[in-house]
Structure 1
Amino acid sequence: MNARRRPDADVPPGLLLVDKPGGMTSHDVVARARRALSVRRVGHAGTLDPMATGLLVLGVGTATRLLGHVGGHDKTYEATLRLGQATVTDDREGEVLATASTAHLDDAAIAAALTEQTGPLQQVPSSVSAVKVGGRRSYDRVRAGEEVVLEPRSVTVHRLDVHRITRPTPHLVDVDVTVACSAGTYIRAIARDAGAALGVGGHLTALRRTVSGPFSVGHAAPVEEAAAALTGEGGPGFLPLTEGARAVFPERLLTPEEAVALSYGQRIAATGTAGLHAAVDGEGRLVALVEDAGRTARVNVGFPPA
């Protein structure tokens, strides 16, 4: 006979802004949040690889309904690219496939190759990425011995700033960069492709996400501290549901009649402004995400009262 599952703790819904340490998967962070809060309904917006650190946005309770809209925003990363070695995973955790001396490359040639990795790109994800192929993660297929070739994806690198170029050995180059890019961009693919263009190979040795949409790692905290902020102890790392929605979407203030109508899934008058809006009642409660559809606005995602 199965033991009865304990009910979730009564905690407010909202977003946790977590500063993920290296060595943990995004799922590990979610599991820690669930344990800290005694709540099962926790999810994340946008996976970070285990070696990566930095901003991971979690949703708790009904705030998980926001996550699909949060993860698609632009991102900013601090990264270190190593030229002179290609690896099977395009990062430092994979086996080295090939090496080539970078001794002939000057800083100008390296900067020029990275400039070519900006703007609209057709980028092929690493075969050991989390991209799904036929319903299974690409990395699972690779680990099972399958050969996986992924299709290019349209991404945009808005900015790639080179901060420092160093030479840890006579035959290797490390490049510290900041990358601002669209969602879905693989920074390790930038390292791989720049190295390939230079004829020496490349991979990623360090990655930290600093910005995701309107959220910054400067307002994040370790997962247990963010969970403590949610439960009332204060501190950084927690945004209540309405505040989190306001950070992502323009706000639409509702009349009492509009709030009641939306709570029943009914339509209200359109605003004439495109895109999703956070519909908030007079008491500051997020009622729904709404979107114009002709002369009326309809509920895209509802948030019923607790």
Structure 2
Amino acid sequence: MPVYVTDKPLNLTSHDVVAHARRALHTRRVGHTGTLDPLATGVLVLCVEGSTKLVQFMEADSKDYLAYISLGAGTPTLDAEGPVEETASVPALSGKEVQEALDRFLGPGMQVPPQYSAIQVNGQRAYAAARAGEHTELPARPVELHELTALGLYGSVQEAPRTFTPDAGGRWQVAETGHTFTLPPALGEFPTLLVWARVGSGTYIRSLARDIGAALGTVAHLSGLVRTRAGRFGLEQAVNVDDLGGAAGLDDLKALALPTIAASPELALQLRQGQRPEWTAAGRFLVTLNGELVAVADGDGQALKVVRAWA
């Protein structure tokens, strides 16, 4: 039940990558753990066959990004799909002022999703309503931002660096050699802030770009985005979409950062039958038998209760 880490190319949807994986891996059972917009690139984790049961747990994982935020130009999509519908002057900003503005977003907060998003409102996707010229009032949703670091403010997105390398903590830095990323065509020459971000699940980086622009006294759009990590999987482990057919995949037991219970055959059978065997430890556990997944189970200090089981 392997997990595959892909490097999603520019201009493909996440659904496009899933469809390609189904053909390359000869299975219909493929799911992903967090959508990337067509104009974003980077880590898209695919779960195949039995590992699709892990998706519900992996969707809540935190994610890391390199975000290019162009200041002085706003778009209805909040990204480089455009068009530019609003412009504003950009105040002179010191590095200290920029970082202080970013720091104000850290921690739990509320975020209004983009109008062009897949959120359903009254049975309709928000992006469908937006494309029909309708404005939908999307309620703010809780998000949590763990780290935001300004890597530089450049004269335009064209002048901003494209080559990076990760440090030991997985934080990507501008480098002379390393991974070189492709960005979508720029909508113009606008001052561009480069930010490394570590965020909780459900965070829209497009909305964050909009809000950072407002915090800096102007408008903004996301002119480039690279996801460098999703949960326990980083870009260093990713394979090209075209190479999926020959890729070995990764061990699904490494997908969840949970303590592991090496079960006896009796305990494994009880959990697979939906029983609640005695267990004195509390918390969520990954249960295995002979190195194979049996269940994800919650302990309350008295017994285990199955959240999801594998046959």
TM-score of the pair, normalised by structure 1: 0.86
Matched, 1:288 2:306: no
Give the alignment partner of residue 135 of structure 1, picking from 123, 138, 160: 123
Return the offset for 1:113.
Answer: 2.7
2:282 is matched with which residue?
273
Return the offset for 1:272.
Answer: 1.4
Return the offset for 1:92.
Answer: 0.9
1:209 is matched with which residue?
227
Further displaced range: 162-171 or 209-218: 162-171
Q: How far apart, CA to CA, are the structure 2 residues paired with 1:256 and 1:197? A: 57
What's the CA shift string for 1:85-123, capped at 9, x where partnerless?
111111111211111222544444433333333232211
Give runs of aligned pairs for residues 255-270 of structure 1, distance below 5 A: 255-270=264-279
1:163 is matched with which residue?
151
Aligned residues: 281
Q: How far apart, CA to CA, are the structure 1 residues paired with 2:294 and 2:283? A: 19
* Aligned amino acid, residue 241 of structure 1: D
Report the identity percentage.
Answer: 40
Further displaced range: 77-86 or 95-104: 95-104
* Aligned amino acid, residue 159 of structure 1: E
1:90 is matched with which residue?
78
Return the offset for 1:210.
Answer: 0.9
User: CA RMSD for the aligned pairs?
Assistant: 2.0
Shift in CA distance, 23/171, structure 1 to aligned 2, threshold 3 Å:
closer
Q: How far apart, CA to CA, are the structure 1 residues paired with 2:43 and 2:276? A: 36
8 Å Cα contact 1:37/1:227 also seen in 2: yes
Stretches of structure 1 lacking an aligned partner (at least 5 in a row): 1-12, 231-237
Secondary structure at 2:247 match in 1: helix
1:298 is matched with which residue?
305
Give the alignment partner of residue 253 of structure 2, picking from 217, 242, 251: 242
* Aligned amino acid, residue 223 of structure 2: T
Matched, 1:188 2:206: yes
Shift in CA distance, 159/241, structure 1 to aligned 2, threshold 3 Å:
closer
Shift in CA distance, 264/224, structure 1 to aligned 2, threshold 3 Å:
farther
Q: How far apart, CA to CA, are the structure 2 residues paired with 1:104 and 1:293? A: 55
Shift in CA distance, 159/243, structure 1 to aligned 2, threshold 3 Å:
closer
Give the alignment partner of residue 63 of structure 1, picking from 51, 57, 63: 51
Further displaced range: 136-145 or 179-188: 136-145
Secondary structure at 2:268 match in 1: helix
Secondary structure at 1:112 match in 2: helix
8 Å Cα contact 2:99/2:149 also seen in 1: no
Return the offset for 1:180.
Answer: 0.7
Matched, 1:21 2:9: yes
Between 1 and 2, higher relative CO (CA 8 Å, sep ≥ 6) is seen in 2
Give the alignment partner of residue 109 of structure 2, picking from 117, 121, 139: 121
Q: How far apart, CA to CA, are the structure 1 residues paired with 2:214 and 2:242? A: 41
Shift in CA distance, 87/101, structure 1 to aligned 2, threshold 3 Å:
same
Further displaced range: 24-33 or 218-227: 218-227
Larger radius of gyration: 1
1:10 is matched with which residue?
none
Q: How far apart, CA to CA, are the structure 1 residues paired with 2:142 and 2:80? A: 25
* Aligned amino acid, residue 147 of structure 1: H
Shift in CA distance, 268/223, structure 1 to aligned 2, threshold 3 Å:
farther
8 Å Cα contact 2:76/2:85 also seen in 1: yes
Return the offset for 1:22.
Answer: 1.0
* Aligned amino acid, residue 72 of structure 1: A
8 Å Cα contact 1:44/1:59 also seen in 2: yes
* Aligned amino acid, residue 22 of structure 2: R
Further displaced range: 155-164 or 111-120: 111-120
8 Å Cα contact 1:77/1:210 also seen in 2: yes
Further displaced range: 25-34 or 192-201: 192-201
1:146 is matched with which residue?
134
Further displaced range: 43-52 or 166-175: 166-175
Give runs of aligned pairs for residues 28-67 of structure 1, distance below 5 A: 28-67=16-55
1:235 is matched with which residue?
none
Q: How far apart, CA to CA, are the structure 1 residues paired with 2:310 and 2:153? A: 49
